[in-house]
Structure 1
């Protein structure tokens, strides 16, 4: 929601007027001097939208404000050209509407266009988040990072490394939406106040590492690539089992952490729907973007979200720090997932992160079944994973 500054207004006053944490207002308006607002300038108020209301008989600003648990001045701020004492039946006024339910739809097939729509919707209501493009896919789609908070602890989560695991993007975005909703409404979530988490950590989320692959699974091949992709898919036009990027490279077998071992033992020696690690490590634009992101941001911990298995992996060649054990114990407690320290698999993003930075890294396998997991599992998976999402920030 946007308001125009009046004489004497301050961000602190808006914080009290709309019951929004002061830090969220500052972060929603990074180009404003919070100590000297200029009359007529636009200020973003997070956690609110507006609605146009047609005045009915008996309406007054006081009655309209009382119904919304707001002060009259909150309405006057949005209706600066209206005479507050002479509302006329049929007249239109603007009313602030606190957002108290999730902005995003749940349980829908989650392709790149849905993600783009959702990012715009979140930015509209929660302008204190930052969205940056960290790279591009093979087909030129932006790979986007969402950043929330400005604390010293840097936590990263990502989803949809594998195309047929697109439900992970929907789950991760739903968790983010819940966190943002609780921040602007001051509600605790599972016993935690979200504002201290916002102030002590910076959360980095890449919700869709492999947008080309996700779109291939959900929408089929682009017409200009149809023949090529059907060939890679062994002549089949059914792409629901496709894991790789659009070039047939498995992105989670692309990182220089014993990549040579994976290259040698994988059956796939050429582009394929899954398991082909590429001709060289970090050959794909998606993996280059993710490696560069980790180097630039210097995360303190990293979670890569996959499906399926209701378990998580957190060790790599004994390079994981002792902190990983404590995190693994908490993740197991809050989710019911099985903690697995080592598995016979290399060249993943988690493996490379632990090797490169000697910091905690996790591969989380959501749900049970055959990928792509059905949307009927969404609520159960969300409930199991949300505890891990919170623990990754507060631990």
Structure 2
């Protein structure tokens, strides 16, 4: 494959370069093994970009096809298809069977695009776009972060069994936000097209379940990991001290007050505090001065209580494991459900001991209902963007399997 040299400019990311070259992020990362794919690109860096041979995406009209239906299937509009295909007469009601129609590039209809800068602003913008594209997706703000950023949620489905999925509770696990958002898009598109998702009929899942997703619990922390600490940040001096003066926030899991949100829940909180032995703000493992002291954790707990979910999944990284128990308080079906999730995803169900104060722990202890922590992917956090597609494929199968577990 032919390579071209590309000199990076300010603001470039693997995602923006890949989109411009009309290639995948994975291909771009593989073409540049000399640098970590998850490391921010500096202006002036020389990258190698694969040059793909130009190929048009074509659809051959089948008997009974309508242009509007073809456009919906491929995630665009009929007017967009007419613009790409001048041979389609505006007067003709429908193209004749056998007509060849040029389609937009594969990414043109995609809303959620992988990027190493997929932060709270991108989540907010993409949720608006998803709600416009799929009006049956509901959106809401469930609270605000320490720095006043909205904590957003999206709901899809009209069934009696209530599922909840949350992501990016730990700042350097922000790739889980991409997984959650991509799943919302794929589920919404499958519902609109009346097709399958993950091998299951999307309309059937929609009728049986209501799913609420909080794709980024910790927006302040994610910004620190992705962008570093800006001098104008109101907590700059303190955060810099808590991070021991390092400019790198790769290991930062906490929120903007140095509190680990997954050590914030009232389920063995005191025991977890003693076990962690971290008694002040830090990049990780500090559970705060009291359970639910942080607005992000308090908002998620209140949202859970308001909806009384029947089952929950907290998306984390990494390890390709599924934790399903808490202190023997989990219901009998939890182990069997974890086994099914493991078969679907290839992840290993694990009975966990010596861990408390997590969201899943609190949910099980409070409601005695199935709760799972899913550790997606393998490696060292933050996992590289080049792992996204494989991780997403695993999680797509896991999440659709979860929705199918719902009675009804």
Range of TM-score over shorter length: 0.7 to 0.9
Matching residue within 379, 387, 393 for 1:369: 379
Return the offset for 1:215: 0.5
Q: Which residue of 2 aligns with 1:218?
A: 226
* Count of matched residue pairs: 331
- TM value normalised by structure 2: 0.75
Change in CA separation of 1:55 and 1:154 when aligned onto 2, cut-off 3 Å? closer
Query: How far is the alpha carbon of 1:176 from its aligned partner?
Result: 1.7
Secondary structure class of the residue paired with 1:173: helix
In the superposition, relative to structure 1, how do residues 210 and 187 fare at CA in structure 2: closer, same or farther (>3 Å)? same
Q: How big is each residue's C-alpha offset from its partner over 1:270-326, in whole Å with a ceiling of 9 and x where there is no partner?
A: 000100000100000001001101111010100000001110101011110012122
230, 240, 253: which one aligns with 1:243: 253
Q: CA deviation at 1:58?
A: 7.0
- What is the rounded CA distance, in whole Å, between the counterparts of 2:236 and 2:371 in structure 1? 37
Cα deviations across residues 100-127 of structure 1 (Å, max 9, x unaligned)?
9432212543211111121122112111
Of 296, 311, 315, the match for 1:305: 315
2:92 counterpart SS class: helix
Choose which of 395, 404, 408 in structure 2 pairs with 1:385. 395
CA distance, structure 1, for counterparts of residue 252 and residue 97 of structure 2: 49
Equivalent residue number for residue 139 of structure 1: 147
Query: Against the structure 1 CA distance between its residues 58 and 51, is the aligned structure 2 distance closer, same or farther, given a 3 Å change threshold?
Result: closer
2 CA distance for matches of 1:59 and 1:266? Answer: 66
1:293 maps to 303
> Cα distance, 1:49 vs. partner?
4.2
Which stretches of structure 1, 4 residues or more, deviate above 6 A after TM superposition?
54-58
Q: What residue number does 1:184 align with?
A: 192
Q: Which has the larger displacement, 57-66 or 304-313?
A: 57-66
CA contact (8 A) 2:67 2:78 kept: no
1:128 aligns with 2:136: yes
Q: CA deviation at 1:191?
A: 2.6
Q: Displacement of 1:385 after TM fit?
A: 1.2
Q: 1:65 aligns with which of 78, 94, 101?
A: 94
C-alpha distance in 2, partners of 1:350/1:282?
A: 14
Cα distance in 2, alignment partners of residues 139 and 265 from structure 1? 29
Please state whether the residue corresponding to 1:364 is helix, strand or coil. strand
Is 1:266 matched up with 2:276? yes
- Contact 1:259–1:346, Cα closer than 8 Å, also in 2: yes
> How is 1:35-74 mapped onto 2 (pairs within 5 angstroms)?
49=77, 51=79, 60-63=89-92, 65-66=94-95
Distance 1:341 1:49 in 2: 49
Give the direction of change, closer, same or farther, for the CA distance of 1:55–1:307 in structure 2 (3 Å limit): closer
CA distance in 2, matches of 1:263, 1:379: 36
**2:196 is paired with a residue of what secondary structure?**
coil
Q: Does 1:208 align with 2:237?
A: no
SS of 1:66's equivalent?
Answer: coil
Taking a change above 3 Å as real, the CA distance of residues 321 and 57 of structure 1, as seen in their structure-2 partners, is closer
Is the partner of 1:61 in helix, strand or coil? coil
Deviation at 1:225? Answer: 2.6
RMSD after superposition:
2.9
Runs of 5+ consecutive residues of structure 1 not aligned to the other structure: 1-15, 21-46, 70-98
**CA contact 1:209–1:286 (8 Å) conserved in 2:** yes
2:181 pairs with 1:152: no
In the superposition, the TM-score normalised over structure 1's length comes to: 0.78
5+ residue gaps in structure 2? Answer: 1-65, 99-106
Give 1:9's aligned residue: none
